[in-house]
Chains A and B, each alone.
Chain A
Amino acid sequence: MAIIETRGLSKSFKSRRGVVEAVKGVDMRVDEGEIFGFLGPNGAGKTTTMRMLSTLMQPTGGQATVAGYDLLREPAKVRENIGYVSQAGGVDITMSGRENLILQARLYRVDQATAKTRAQELIVALQMEDFADRFAKTYSGGQKRRLDIALGMAHRPPLLFLDEPTTGLDPQSRAHLWEEVRKLRNEGTTIFLTTHYLDEADALCDRLCIIDNGVIVAEGTPDTLKHQVAGDVVTLGLDTRNGAIMQAQALLGKLSFVREVQVDKDILRLYVERGETALPQILRALDSADIVLQTIALARPSLDDVFLRQTGRSLREEAA
């Protein structure tokens, strides 16, 4: 069963400087009970899409159903059935974490006693016992982030939107949050999250979309996406002088086991069938053509390679 389904969802911003097309006709489907990821570089349109789906922003085109209701016609119903944690958060620093949580649950019409129990559960689940009763003003960035996320879960929504949930968390809190998100999923909550961390998308998401410039460029489980790249990736560092790169590109592209060659400044990337047998042959070919090799590396394909294949750019560099 689909819990989110969009058709041609788009958003353009008009300003004095012209029109920014932030999201250009997104079609996607998120199934009930999965962790669905939205992976893309800065400015790709992740937040914009999420804000439209959570009723915060009116789409300029397309339609969507969210949690069983039409986004445009029944936004109030949608709101009752979702939780949303924005990229920037929304903690009230004049109250303690616990008070924030209780109020949030009460705003969803949970009664006082249940709201209190719920707050306590979340404080334990997100390991906030040490600071939950202090003023939120005194929290560190990561502590505040954990409270943000807990606020999104205060009313146990069947669908939870998390915009870059782990940004600003230390590795330990991050791993812990992943566990918590998986637990939520196992209890039946659907989670829609955005991230620009490749490892996060890979390890956490059941399925994901890669979005770039407002367009979805790939969709599937992390494994199917990586398999689309097929085979292994050999990365060669070459001397940039004397057109060695061009020479090597022409030479290696002719080898039968090389599926694709990409040039990225002084780096040559080869998609090959079997990396371990390809390496010696590549070395021999370069050697016989007198091309000096500076570095060589072999890797299994990552989601970054998927992104690269689709867009010609590396997500890792964009994020850096």
Chain B
Amino acid sequence: MRLLTDTWLLFKNYMMSTLRQPVWILISLFTPICYLLLFAPLLDKMIVPSGPNTNALTSFTPGVVVMLGMFGSLFVGFSIISDLRAGIVERLRVTPVSRLAPLLGRALRDACLLLVQCLLLVTLAFILGLKADFWGVVLSLVLVIPMGIALASLSYAVGLMLKSEDAFAPLLNFFTTPLLLLSGVLLPLSLAPDWLQGAAKISPFYYIVNATRALFLGDFSDNAVWIGFGLVIVLAVLCVYWAANIFRRATA
């Protein structure tokens, strides 16, 4: 129970600090919004709508939502490096606070912010003319939030291990761009040659994007949906478990 109360206490505190600078919430929305406004219009003529109630945004928006979840979450590790340097991590270590509360409190805060960001993004997409199944969109957000928690935990743990921005930034660059392109976020990989489709199957985000696309179309019985949810849950459990171990060891 201490874990819960400690997590709640730190969550409120992290949330308060973040809300004092609400502009950050918008900053990580900037790139996805650019894609919606400046890239999606190109697709209108390229992608043939697969049904009467769909348009280019139906297949494009899910990718942008996943992209928001990926990028917003993978970069949170920078904040723990600055906390480490300021001595805050160490100060918490000497208190009896549960070892996992700082991780869970942060990841929860990030999940809440991600939810708000996703809602803003989807609202914008609807304003721009998105045609999609309403409950499918809701379920997509339910899918993206645990993915965000998984990636944020991963990012915090790696930040805690590397202890320096100079090591963390290149590592992120090294992984994010290929993962992004292989996930078919921007265009469905059905357009890709065989070898590229094969390569994409290594990236978990490929399946998550497929699942959100199916959900936006309202294809709830599509296998991709089950695969996506299953994958996200496994990913979240593994990442949080691993990150928890790193936190426990680094702050024992």
Contact = CB atoms under 8 A, between A and B. Distances in A.
A86 B94 CA distance: 10
A54 B90 CA distance: 11
Interface string A72-110: 000010011011101011111111000100011011110
Contacts of B9: 103, 106-107
Contacts of B167: none
B94 A92 contact: no
A104 B95 contact: yes
A99 B12 CA distance: 12
Contacts of B6: 107
B81 to A, nearest CB: 15
By size class, the interface of chain A is 20 to 34
A151 B92 CA distance: 11
B229 to A, nearest CB: 36
Interface in B187-225: none
Given A94-B17, A94-B20, A106-B9, A79 B95 contact: yes
- Most chain-B Cβ atoms within 10 A of its Cβ — which of A79, A86, A94, A106? A94
Contacts of B45: none
A55 interface: yes
A69 to B, nearest CB: 12
A80 B17 contact: no
A56 interface: yes
A99 B15 CA distance: 13
B88 interface: yes
Contact of B96 (A58, A80, A94): A80
Interface in A47-80: 54-56, 58, 76, 79-80
Contacts of B93: 55-56
Interface string A20-56: 0000000000000000000000000000000000111
Nearest to B97: A107
Given A95-B17, A107-B9, A90 B96 contact: no
B86 interface: yes
B90 A90 contact: yes
A8 B91 CA distance: 27
A93 B79 CA distance: 13
Contacts of B95: 79, 104, 107-108
B96 A79 contact: yes
A90 B13 contact: no
Nearest to B20: A94
Contacts of A94: 17, 20
Nearest to B93: A56
A4 to B, nearest CB: 15
- Most chain-B Cβ atoms within 10 A of its Cβ — which of A54, A86, A109, A151? A109
A311 B17 CA distance: 50
A84 B94 contact: yes
Contacts of A80: 96
A1 to B, nearest CB: 23
A56 B95 CA distance: 10
- Most chain-A Cβ atoms within 10 A of its Cβ — which of B17, B90, B252? B90
A155 to B, nearest CB: 8
Interface string B107-136: 000000000000000000000000000000
Given A86-B90, A90-B90, 9 more contacts: A55-B93, A56-B93, A80-B96, A84-B91, A93-B86, A94-B17, A107-B9, A108-B95, A109-B96
Interface of B: 2, 6, 9, 13, 16-17, 20, 83, 86-88, 90-97, 252
